[in-house]
Amino acid sequence: MKHLTTSLAALLLSSSAYAQYSQTAIKTLPYPQTKKVDTETTYFGTNVADPYRWLEDDQAADTKAWVQAENKVTQNFLSQIPYREAINKRLETLWNYEKYGAPFKEGKYTYFSKNTGLQSQSVLYRQIGNGAPEVFLDPNKFSKDGTTSLAGLNFSKDGSLAAYQISEGGSDWRKVIVLKTADKGIVGDTLKDVKFSGLAWKGNDGFYYSSYDKPKEGSQLAGLTQYHKLYYHKLGTPQSQDKLIFGGDKTPRRYIGAYLTEDERFLVITAANTTTGNELYVQDLSKPGSTIVPVVADEKNQNSIVENVGSKLYIHTNLNAPNFRLVTTDVTKPTSDNWKDLIAETKNVLDISTVGGKIFAHYLKDATSLIEQYDLNGKKERAIDLPSVGSAGGFGGKRDEKETYYTFTSYIYPPTIFKYDIATGKSTLYKKPNVQFDPTKYESKQVFYPSKDGTKVPMIITYKKGTVMNGKNPTLLYAYGGFGVSLTPAFSTSNILLLENGGIYAVPNLRGGGEYGETWHLAGTKLNKQNVFDDFIAAAEYLVQNKYTSKDYLAISGGSNGGLLIGAVMTQRPDLCKVAFPAVGVLDMLRYNKFTAGAGWAYDYGTAEDSKEMFEYLYKYSPYHALKPAAYPATMVTTADHDDRVVPAHSFKFASRLQEMQKGSAPVLIRIETKAGHGAGRSTAQVISEQTDKWAFMFYNMGVPYKGAQ
């Protein structure tokens, strides 16, 4: 049985405010004696031991007892960090400012979200014109502890009906409730067991939604969810009578989505078996009895219908265009051999939104936003003048609107809402957050560094102006690197605490992401996945070589697929950093596809069943399996008991094996949040609590005293 041995005496605290703690040792509990059960699986002739597989049963009494024991060790350790409470109070102060969401119009109302500061969940308000706002939905009243959240909201075209989804304890399984917006009276029964779904209204008659059959065996949170089904729910009828529209035995697909064009003429259906690429279908609802027609009949590329003018369809696609393009065709000849470029592919990745009868082209230029406005014939009207270099989101709405809203942010620019006049192109400040942060005191710069194979990778580094690059600055290196997800500059209230204490925040845009299109994404998938880890390791080495920090002051962090990244990097290079934060990570690469919708991630990862070569590749880097006796960095694994996307078993098994294999003196903890899921919908208190523990753990293990607000 291993014990935690790190003491505060080793930290050499220099701040006189904490001198009293300099000889105080943290009194720690021993790690739980995690049992090992002889379990093996044979892959292509190789027997793979899995002694902690019993932890996959999250409903078992011994698993629950293990969770309680581990949390006790973790909280015992964290509670003795002398400045933990000071960090918590500072974060509460930083968080305590009004936060607004961009307004949107439905019917006669303008809706917007607002959080007064420390409310568990943001409240949805509405108003008519410049009238007084009133509360429309208050998720803080959904549950006593603030852990039930608003997880989706869709209005009928005339705005008279609204269907909203709620998530309980962070689960991806949702309930759907329908309201009359006039008096907020509930219509019909609550729909249950809805998952990974939008809600697409067809007039005021009903709406389309998607879900899976609930798992019949094992935990409903961890059980395999194989095939999505698209249903139509007619208001006033029981859910049991909902009509199956697409999916099921005839067209089994793992992910199915649906939406209607704004004129409600076309039902658009997307279908896929993995998280990248999709089939595209359309049904002309103006013609009774019309069939569902394929537009794209394979999943090799990503495709969506973003607009229509009569029978003319506007399709956003990366077919024959890795950086995406916008094409048009007529619904009578929808297939790709009839497509015509409206906005051709460029060297920058293209996304599309529409509002006011205009097309807004959202380009990613080295992971930052560049926005251009076009008419429906593809004529460029202007480039949008953004406040700075950063990320802009919005520019969406209905065809008859004269103005729209967008939110701009960067690592040093708190998210600010602007009103945009579509006719003139003029932006006007709408809402600026009153957060305790002075952007003029900080700088954020982009660098390009070489990865192991010479590939140039961009990274944005943020810190206080005047910071001396002496290798002693506490630094958090955060990344993702997967599923075509692009990490663009975004402000973090939590990161203020690091920056104001002389810290550095660095974000590299690794291969596997979407910052440079599908080519960049594919360069970090399957048998190329090591590129992602190499890119991240090279980012850390760049920071050290250029004296931003050093190994003793470097922490690495990532969540979900980013949790896999951290797990892989710390097993390959345990000497790389001082602290590691693998959050809600995919950490068992041989069994990830056995739980929930994990099989859909095979496009990025491959599976151990694919081939001997794929198995051996996964087995080599799988964090759970790659652990060997070594001196690992101080590690705090984080997960949640209601995470039904990346099941907590990944973190349970990894933490158990890491505690077993740790030969150094650094602590190995696992922090297991209760009544929480993969991340979305957590209460403000839960977020602040986790961030408190993260910074306290990081500063303590680096020997960096927390100095308070600077």
| Residues annotated as part of the active site | 560, 678
Distance CA 700, CA 82 (A): 9
Cβ atoms of 255 and 272 within 8 Å: the answer is yes
CB neighbour list of residue 54: distance below 8 Å, 6 or more residues apart: 35, 37, 39, 60, 62, 63
Residue 282 β-bridge partners: 268, 293
Count of other CB atoms within 10 angstroms of residue 474? 22
Cβ atoms of 489 and 459 within 8 Å: the answer is no
Cβ atoms of 272 and 278 within 8 Å: the answer is yes
Classify residue 618 by burial, with Cβ atoms within 10 Å: 0-12, 13-18, 19+: buried
For β-strands 475-478 and 554-559, DSSP reports them as: parallel
Say which residue the tokens 């390009």 belong to: 448
Helix axes 684-702, 84-95, angle to 10 degrees: 140
Torsion angle in degrees (nearest 10) through CA of 492, 497, 502, 503: -50
Q: In what order do the strands lie in the sheet with 148-155?
A: 148-155, 161-168, 173-180, 191-195
DSSP reduced 3-state for 698: helix
Distance CA 399, CA 264 (A): 13
Distance CA 448, CA 452 (A): 13
Residue 209 β-bridge partners: 231
Say which residue the tokens 């003196």 belong to: 665
Distance CA 81, CA 477 (A): 23
Reduced 3-state DSSP string for 616-685: HHHHHHCHHHHCCCECCCEEEEEEECCCCCCCCHHHHHHHHHHHHHECCCCCEEEEEECCCCCECECCHH
Closest CA to 446 of 498, 509, 383, 499: 509
Distance CA 516, CA 84 (A): 40
CB neighbour list of residue 533: distance below 8 Å, 6 or more residues apart: 565, 568, 569, 572, 621
Helix axes 684-702, 61-79, angle to 10 degrees: 60
Cβ atoms of 286 and 261 within 8 Å: the answer is no
DSSP reduced 3-state for 374: strand
